[in-house]
Chain A
Amino acid sequence: MARTRSATERALLFEGYEPLEGAFDEFVDAKGVPHPAVAAVVRRFDELGRAEFRRRKKLADTTFLRSGVTFSIYSGDTATERIFPFDLIPRVVSAREWERVRKGLEQRIRALNLFLADVYGDQRILKEGRIPRELVLGSKAYCKPVQGIRPPGGVYIHIAGVDLIRDASGAFVVLEDNVRTPSGVSYVLENRDMMKKLFPSVFRECPVAPVEMYPTKLREAMAAVAPQGGGERQRVLLTPGPYNSAYFEHSFLARRIGCELVQGGDLFVDGDRVYAKTTHGLRPVEVIYRRVDDGFLDPEVFRGDSLVGVPGLVRAYAAGNVALVNAIGNGVADDKGIYPYVPDMIDFYLGEKPILPQVPTYVCAREKDCAYVVDHLDELVVKAVNEAGGYGMLMGPTASRRERADFRERIRKDPRNYIAQPRVEFSGTPTWTRTGMQPRRVDLRPFVITGRHTWVLPGGLTRVALVKGSYVVNSSQGGGSKDTWVVGGAA
Chain B
Amino acid sequence: MICRVAESCFWLARYVERVDTLARLLAVNNSFQLDVHMPQAEVWRPIVIVAGQEEDFLERIGAAAIDDGEAVQDYLTWDRSHPSSIHGCLRWARENARTIREVMSVEMWGAINDTWLWLTGRSARRLYQRERDAFYDHLSKQCMLFHGICYSTMLHEEPFVFMKLGRAVERVGQTARILDVKHHSLREEEREEEPADAAQWLATLRSCSGVDTFFQRGDNTLTGPAVAEFLLFDRTFPRAVLHNLDRARGLMARLVESDPPGLRRPSWQRLERLRGSLLQMDGGIVQDVGLHKVLTQVVDDTATLCEAIHADYLDPPVEDLLRDARIPHIVQRQSQSQASRKTA
Which residues of A line the B interface, CB within 8 A? 65-68, 241-242, 247, 251-252, 254-255, 260-266, 268, 270-271, 275-282, 307, 311
Q: Mind listing 6 A-B residue pairs with CB under 8 Å?
A: A65-B117, A255-B101, A260-B5, A276-B2, A280-B259, A281-B321
User: For the complex, what is the distance from the CA of A275 to the CA of B333, rounded to whole Å?
Assistant: 15
Chain A: CB-nearest residue to B158: A279
Known: A66-B117, A268-B335. A281 touches B2 (CB 8 A): no
Known: A265-B338, A266-B3, A276-B2. A68 touches B321 (CB 8 A): no
Q: Which of B4, B95, B158 contacts A265 (CB 8 A)?
A: B4
Known: A68-B101, A251-B101, A307-B336. A282 touches B321 (CB 8 A): yes
Which residues of B line the A interface, CB within 8 A? 1-6, 95, 98-99, 101-102, 106, 109-110, 113-114, 117, 158, 162, 255, 258-260, 313-314, 316, 318, 321-322, 324-325, 327, 329, 331, 333, 335-339
User: For the complex, what is the distance from the CA of A483 to the CA of B9, rounded to whole Å?
Assistant: 34
B117 A67 Cβ-Cβ under 8 A: no
User: For the complex, what is the distance from the CA of A67 to the CA of B97, rounded to whole Å?
Assistant: 12
Chain B: CB-nearest residue to A237: B102
B-chain residues with CB within 8 Å of residue A252 when the two chains form the complex? 101
Q: Which of B1, B95, B110, B162 contacts A278 (CB 8 A)?
A: B1
Do most interface residues of chain B lie in helix, strand or loop, or is the interface mixed?
helix
User: For the complex, what is the distance from the CA of A66 to the CA of B281, rounded to whole Å?
Assistant: 48
A281: min CB distance to chain B, Å: 5
A256: min CB distance to chain B, Å: 9
Known: A255-B101, A260-B102, A262-B2. A281 touches B95 (CB 8 A): no
A-chain residues with CB within 8 Å of residue B260 when the two chains form the complex? 280-281
B-chain residues with CB within 8 Å of residue A68 when the two chains form the complex? 98, 101, 109, 113
A281 B324 Cβ-Cβ under 8 A: yes
User: For the complex, what is the distance from the CA of A261 to the CA of B314, rounded to whole Å?
Assistant: 16
- 11 further interface pairs, Cβ-Cβ under 8 Å (given A252-B101, A278-B1): A66-B110, A67-B110, A68-B101, A241-B339, A264-B336, A268-B321, A270-B327, A278-B3, A279-B3, A281-B321, A282-B327
A287: min CB distance to chain B, Å: 16
Q: Which of B5, B106, B109, B327 contacts A271 (CB 8 A)?
A: B327
A242 B95 Cβ-Cβ under 8 A: yes
A280 B113 Cβ-Cβ under 8 A: no
A-chain residues with CB within 8 Å of residue B318 when the two chains form the complex? 268, 277
B-chain residues with CB within 8 Å of residue A268 when the two chains form the complex? 318, 321, 335
B113 A277 Cβ-Cβ under 8 A: no
User: For the complex, what is the distance from the CA of A252 to the CA of B101, rounded to whole Å?
Assistant: 8
User: For the complex, what is the distance from the CA of A262 to the CA of B100, rounded to whole Å?
Assistant: 10
Q: Which of A65, A67, A263, A282 contacts B109 (CB 8 A)?
A: A67
